Amino acid sequence: MNTVFLNGDYMPIEEAKISPLDRGFLFGDGIYEVIPSYFGEMVGFKGHINRLNDGLNEIGIELNWNDAQWQTLCDTLIEKNGAGPLGLYLHVSRGTDTKRFHAFPVNVTPTVFAMAFEIPVAKTPDLVTVGKGYALSSSEDLRWQRCQIKSTSLLGNVLHFQEGYEAGSQETLLYNSNNELTEASSSNIFIVKDGVIATPIQDNQILPGITRRLLIDILAKEGSIPLEERIITLEEVNAADEIWITSSTKEIVPVTQLDSKKVGDGNVGTVWLKAATLYAINKFSY
């Protein structure tokens, strides 16, 4: 589990070396992706690569890899790292400059780094084995206003995650200065009230999560649980029957505590069970 890719070559992680003048190191000037793969099969590959390309375009990094090149890289990493449940981490920085200077350097080649890391085996959703669900803290979202970009500059997210971590929580739920829900420090959020699911609108305040998108599409296609994309107030979050967080490495996790208070009746919700089951059955068909 330690073969990585750096600028065209596969090597043990210990041999992967990057210059301190790399813009990713100096400025966090880069874009990344995390793609889940279970025993050789990736979830949402195309969506992940499209989001990576969108991010690169948005910050003006010209890499011009096609989907087949990313596919080969991912397949090779899977093969060389044991093909279990893996997160495939892809990272493109603007490249290595000759000095530290804020403006984009000309004629630099982007740095491409990729590695695989173990993620939990996706379990069949089950109210009993999932147990209590996660405990979350909440905090005002103090990150920048371009959260739709999956930037490697993650200090804002890291500081928010750490707040929850130090409070004994597994994630930090974030709300903006209007007391409207945005997302969590490394996940998107869904709430349920009276059988209706809601999740914040996709705008510059949240990452366009691939798990979020797949879940919305799967639920829409199945059609039995109503889902709204809309503004959600913090008041609604606090009064929700269920809260879930989603991400590529966690899939859909029920939240049973928020700021030490029970969510709903404090148990994992039945709407979560249905949605997570539909996700588990359908996630590979997108």
| Residue type for position 135 | A
Query: For residue 275, what are its two tokens?
Result: 């949605």
Q: Judge contact between 32 and 92, C-beta under 8 A.
A: yes
**Minimum CB–partner distance for residue 103 and ligand PDD (Å):** 27
Let me know how long the chain is.
286
Q: Which stretch binds ligand PDD (CB under 6 A): 20-28, 129-137, 209-217, 273-281?
A: 209-217
Please, which residue, 6 or 252, has the CB nearer to ligand PDD?
252
Note every long-range contact of 60-64, with CB atoms under 8 Å and residues 24 or more positions apart, other chains counting.
Answer: 60/104, 61/30, 61/31, 61/92, 61/93, 61/94, 61/110, 62/110, 63/92, 63/110, 63/112
By CB under 6 A, the residues from 85 to 114 that bind ligand PDD are: none
Residue 107 makes CB contacts below 8 A (sequence gap 6+) with none
Question: Taking CB under 6 A as the rule, does residue 173 contact ligand PDD?
Answer: no
Please, which residue, 31 or 96, has the CB nearer to ligand PDD?
31
C-alpha dihedral, 191 to 264 to 224 to 207, nearest 10°? 20
Catalytic residue numbers read 150
Q: Please identify which residue in 187, 199, 205, 257 interacts with ligand PDD, judged by CB under 6 A.
A: 187
C-alpha dihedral, 194 to 177 to 210 to 53, nearest 10°? 160
Q: Which stretch binds ligand PDD (CB under 6 A): 21-29, 163-171, 182-190, 230-238?
A: 182-190
Strand, helix or coil for residue 247: strand
Distances (CA, A) of 111 to 47, 107, 179: 22, 13, 39
**Minimum CB–partner distance for residue 157 and ligand PDD (Å):** 5
By CB under 6 A, the residues from 54 to 73 that bind ligand PDD are: none
Q: Which stretch binds ligand PDD (CB under 6 A): 129-137, 181-189, 236-244, 254-262?
A: 181-189
Q: Please identify which residue in 207, 237, 252, 253 interacts with ligand PDD, judged by CB under 6 A.
A: 207
Q: Please identify which residue in 188, 199, 205, 256 interacts with ligand PDD, judged by CB under 6 A.
A: 188
Beta bridge partners of 53: none
Q: Please identify which residue in 153, 249, 267, 277 interacts with ligand PDD, judged by CB under 6 A.
A: 249
For residues 53 and 63, what is the distance between their CA atoms, to the nearest angstrom? Answer: 9
Question: Taking CB under 6 A as the rule, does residue 141 contact ligand PDD?
Answer: no
Q: Please identify which residue in 37, 172, 205, 246 interacts with ligand PDD, judged by CB under 6 A.
A: 246
Strand, helix or coil for residue 21: coil
Question: Taking CB under 6 A as the rule, does residue 119 contact ligand PDD?
Answer: no
Question: Taking CB under 6 A as the rule, does residue 247 contact ligand PDD?
Answer: yes
Please, which residue, 110 or 209, has the CB nearer to ligand PDD?
209
Binding stretches for ligand PDD (CB under 6 A): 34, 157, 183, 186-188, 207, 209-212, 246-249
